[in-house]
Chain A
Amino acid sequence: MPSSRTIAPEIQYASLAQQGETAQIGMWVFLVNETLFFGALIFTYFLYRLSYPSEFAVAAKDAVLWCGSTNLVLLLTSSLTMVLAINAAAQGRRSEMVAWLIATLALGFLFLGFKGYEYFEDVRDKVVPGLNFEMKPGEAPAGELFWVFYWVATGLHAVHLSIGIGLILYMLLWRIRRGEITPTYYAPLEVVAIYWSFVDAVWLFLYPCIYLVGRS
């Protein structure tokens, strides 16, 4: 029966340890699926980039490099703070865990803020396909495809990041406040952390595809 005095496992599990481990495996399996989701998009991108290398290089010059780079730093740091939160949870340092989680949240929000500003710049640059796209010399017709990829990829990434922020908020405002994350059972937090790191890793792939093309 329960390996913890306060939390019982669900009926299908023999122990909390098994439940926690299963939850983590569930997230890894889900990430296999997510990898193929983004993988298909990046495959599309490379197909067109190989077909239209010069057009893509011209089109990518309009991407706001400093925004993307700042965001890369922010997300990498947020993965670090996330891991520090897990570490604190494992050792039972509750207030430290909360502090690191809030730091992660703040970095996530900062990312979205920069992203929003970048979108604002993009609209001013007239690089929004379907809304105000303006062909620039040398990028016809495939430059638009680059920007379709840009909006789809960063948009989906932002949706994923927002879900991550929601999960951290759920942890902070519900699970941790109710004392359900303990040094013996912090698997839910680990599941969120695995997801968060994945979203971070996606940006590692998107960043060179979007911001570094044609800038060598």
Chain B
Amino acid sequence: MYHWIPFWPRTAAVNGVVVNNLYIAELGIGGLIMATVLGMMLSFCIRYRAGSTASRTGLIEKTWHFEIGWTTATLLGFLALFFWGASIYIWLFQAPRGDLEIYVVAKQWMWKVEHPGGQREIDALHVPVGKTVRLVLASEDVIHSFFVPAFRIKHDVVPGALETIWFRASKTGVYRLECTQYCGLQHATMQGEVVVMTPADYANWLAGEGVHRSLAEQGMAIFQAHGCSGCHDPGSTVHAPSLSGLYGTLVHLDDGSVRRADEAYIRDCIFNPRSFTVAGYPPIMPDFSGQLSEGDVLKLIAYIQSLGYRGETSR
């Protein structure tokens, strides 16, 4: 749709089509408002120019019903746009369980991508068409912003937090990947490409990248090397929460709050354990900030995910 419109960016994801519709509607409404204002202004300027013979009698004195009229009209129009935009936003920014979960680490000035099978690439992202891809974004230094114009998706990548976004590509091809948050000297060149392939091509590409230890396996190695297993293994004598089947569940914390055990929660627990003590457990977990990189954390998450999802249904 809309490819016949000149100067239209390519649309290659289901997310993009939805946003296109809304944007077209807004262009229409905006054009209508602009035409109304311009039309009224021009016609008044011509008809009531100084010296014209048009009648000036019966100047509108009472204005309040006009004011109420167009306040109501604009408010209703605006509310419609608001609901439309907000419903898409909520859908866009709540990542479903993906067919595929890929980790992206941003650093000045590159995008490092890690696939679940351990394949790595820089400034490029290969994905299969028609599959729901869930991206977990992390930053090693400053704030970046992950933007694929053809998919109409964007999210800032803030250091100290994990963000997840998703898309489902609808067309094969090569699309631009950009950073849209100014991140220092070479911000302008922090770009790459998203390659959307058919599932078969994608499988070939994965295979062609060589044999790797999967992310979960690498995560398990870190889990053991940093002593996490000493407390969190089922057989451990230390009273620590078990991690198997943890991912995706609701966790009750010491301070009474409840959090879903998603990527951001796991990261918070590793880097700031004191503030996320699980109810019923002693606050004994050491703080791992400074010892683990963002990439390590993503591998640990992959490992914890591999220990099983609660309610193993995918959407």
User: Which residues of A does B touch, CB under 8 Å?
Assistant: 51-55, 140-141
Q: Is the interface of B mostly helix, strand, loop or mixed?
A: loop
Instruction: Decide: B289 and A55 in contact? CB cutoff 8 A.
Output: no
Which residue on A lies nearest to B289, using beta carbons? A141
Is B274 on the interface with A (CB-CB < 8 A)?
yes
Instruction: Decide: A54 and B289 in contact? CB cutoff 8 A.
Output: no
Top 6 A-B residue pairs of the complex, sorted by shortest distance between their CB atoms = A54-B274, A52-B275, A140-B287, A51-B275, A55-B274, A141-B289
10 A-B contacts (beta carbon < 8 Å): A51-B275, A52-B274, A52-B275, A53-B255, A54-B274, A54-B275, A55-B274, A140-B287, A141-B287, A141-B289
A51 to B274, CA, bound (A): 10
In the complex, what residues of B have CB within 8 A of residue A52's CB?
274-275
A55 to B275, CA, bound (A): 9
In the complex, what residues of A have CB within 8 A of residue B274's CB?
52, 54-55
A52 to B287, CA, bound (A): 14
Which residue on A lies nearest to B274, using beta carbons? A54
**A51-B275, A52-B274, A52-B275 given. 7 additional CB < 8 A pairs?**
A53-B255, A54-B274, A54-B275, A55-B274, A140-B287, A141-B287, A141-B289
Q: How far is the CB of B161 from chain A (nearest CB, A)?
A: 13
Which residue on B lies nearest to A51, using beta carbons? B275
In the complex, what residues of A have CB within 8 A of residue B289's CB?
141
A54 to B287, CA, bound (A): 14
Q: How many residues of B contact A (CB 8 A)?
A: 5
Q: Which of B255-289 contact A (CB under 8 A)?
A: 255, 274-275, 287, 289
Q: How far is the CB of B64 from chain A (nearest CB, A)?
A: 32
Q: How far is the CB of B282 from chain A (nearest CB, A)?
A: 13
A24 to B274, CA, bound (A): 49
A172 to B284, CA, bound (A): 60
In the complex, what residues of B have CB within 8 A of residue A51's CB?
275
Which residue on B lies nearest to A54, using beta carbons? B274
Q: How far is the CB of B292 from chain A (nearest CB, A)?
A: 15
In the complex, what residues of B have CB within 8 A of residue A55's CB?
274
Which residue on A lies nearest to B254, using beta carbons? A54
A55 to B274, CA, bound (A): 9
A54 to B283, CA, bound (A): 11
A55 to B287, CA, bound (A): 13
A210 to B274, CA, bound (A): 21
Which residue on A lies nearest to B287, using beta carbons? A140
Which residue on B lies nearest to A141, using beta carbons? B289
In the complex, what residues of A have CB within 8 A of residue B255's CB?
53
Q: How far is the CB of B90 from chain A (nearest CB, A)?
A: 25
In the complex, what residues of A have CB within 8 A of residue B287's CB?
140-141
A140 to B291, CA, bound (A): 14
A41 to B274, CA, bound (A): 25
Q: How far is the CB of A116 from chain B (nearest CB, A)?
A: 34
A53 to B274, CA, bound (A): 10
A190 to B238, CA, bound (A): 66
Which residue on B lies nearest to A138, using beta carbons? B274
A141 to B274, CA, bound (A): 10
In the complex, what residues of A have CB within 8 A of residue B275's CB?
51-52, 54
A11 to B136, CA, bound (A): 67
Q: How far is the CB of A18 from chain B (nearest CB, A)?
A: 36
Q: How far is the CB of B76 from chain A (nearest CB, A)?
A: 35
In the complex, what residues of B have CB within 8 A of residue A54's CB?
274-275
